[in-house]
Structure 1
Amino acid sequence: MKGPFDGGCLCNEIRYHCDAEPKTIYYCHCSDCRRISGTAFYTGVGVSKEGFSLTSGTVRQWHKKADSGKGVTRSFCPVCSASIYLQLEMFPDTIFIAAGSLDDPSALKPNLELWTQSKVDWAEIPEGIMSMEKAAG
C-alpha cells in the first residue's frame, strides 16, 4: 500500500487524509484490540504522525494502560463510535490507523502479527507473516 490515502468513520463525521507511506501494516491479537474491533483482531496501519491529518470532525479519545504497561490512546468518532486510530506512548511519532476506516483497504498487505499468545484459535492469518507473542507497545 502506498500513500496518499483517505478514510473516515461510518457516519462521515470524521474524515482524514494521509500522505505518509505505511511503516507497518499489522494484526494485533491482544484482548483490548479484539474488544475494540469487535472481532478476532485489530488491523492497523502505522504511519508517521506528520503525514496524517484530520480533515473534518473532532475525534473523541480514551486512554488506558495496555498489557505492556504502556499507555494507549484510542481515537474514535463521537457520533457513530467507529475506531479511527490509536497512539502508543512508546511510539509518539506514529499514528496507527484502523484499517477498516480506510476508504479503500483493498491494497493492504499486513506484514506483522502481534500478541499471538492471545490469538483466538479460529483466527486464520496468512503464512509468512512475522509473528510476535507479545509486543513492546
Structure 2
Amino acid sequence: MADAQCACGALRLTFGEPPQLTALCHCFACQRRTGAPFSANAFYAIDCVEITGASTEFVRTADSGRKVHMHFCPTCGSTVYWRAEASPSWIGVGVGSFADPAFAPPAMSVFEQSKHKWVQLDETVGRFQGLPIDRS
C-alpha cells in the first residue's frame, strides 16, 4: 500500500490495511476544499493509520450540524485527512494524496444533488442524492 502525503511531503500517512470505503462526494464543502467539482475519498479504520509530520486543524460544521476536523500541512496547505464526529472510528483521506492512478475506484457517489451535470460516472458506482445512511 502506498503512503498518502501532502504536496511537500512533510505530512504523511501510512496504512496497515486497505480502505474500508472509497467514495466520491459532490457536496459544496468538498468542492470548496478541493477546488474541483467533486472529491475522491478513501476511508480507513482509525487504528490502522500512522500519521507523521505536523498538521494544522480546521474545524467546520457539516450540514448535519456535526463537526468535521480537517487536517492540512502548515507548510504547503494541502488537506490530507479529516475526522468526522459522525464517523468517529474512520479517518478520511483524499485519494489524490496517494498520487496512485491504480488506487481502488469509488464504490459510491454521494451528494449528487449538487453534482455538476457534465460529470459522468460508471454505472457500477452506487449513486445517492445525499448520504446513503446516517452514521450516528
TM-score, normalised to structure 2's length?
Answer: 0.91
Matched ranges for 1:93-112 at <5 A: 93-112=89-108
Show the counterpart of 2:68: 72
The answer on whether the counterparts of 1:61 and 1:76 sit within 8 Å (CA) in structure 2 is: yes
Show the counterpart of 2:120: 124
Secondary structure of 2:30's partner? helix
Q: Kindly provide the amino acid, as one letter, of the partner of residue 7 in structure 1.
A: A
Aligned residues: 133
Aligned-residue Cα RMSD (Å) equals 1.4
Work out the CA distance in 1 between the residues paired with 2:64 and 2:113: 13
The answer on whether the counterparts of 1:58 and 1:77 sit within 8 Å (CA) in structure 2 is: yes
Residue in structure 2 matching 1:50, options 47, 50, 70: 47
Specify every segment of 5 or more residues in structure 1 that has no aligned partner in the other structure, as ranges. none
Work out the CA distance in 1 between the residues paired with 2:56 and 2:48: 20
Identity among equivalent pairs (%): 28
- Segments of 4+ in structure 1 off by > 4 A? none
Cα deviation, residue 129, structure 1: 0.8
Work out the CA distance in 1 between the residues paired with 2:124 and 2:101: 20
- Give deviations 1:28-82, integer Å, cap 9, x for gaps: 0000000101111011000000011113x11111111111222111111111111
Specify every segment of 5 or more residues in structure 2 that has no aligned partner in the other structure, as ranges. none
Work out the CA distance in 2 between the residues paired with 1:63 and 1:18: 24
TM-score, normalised to structure 1's length?
Answer: 0.90
Show the counterpart of 1:20: 17
Work out the CA distance in 2 between the residues paired with 1:67 and 1:125: 25
Work out the CA distance in 2 between the residues paired with 1:90 and 1:107: 25
Secondary structure of 2:96's partner? helix
Q: Kindly provide the amino acid, as one letter, of the partner of residue 20 in structure 1.
A: E
Q: Which moved more, 1:104-113 or 1:34-43?
A: 104-113
Secondary structure of 1:134's partner? coil
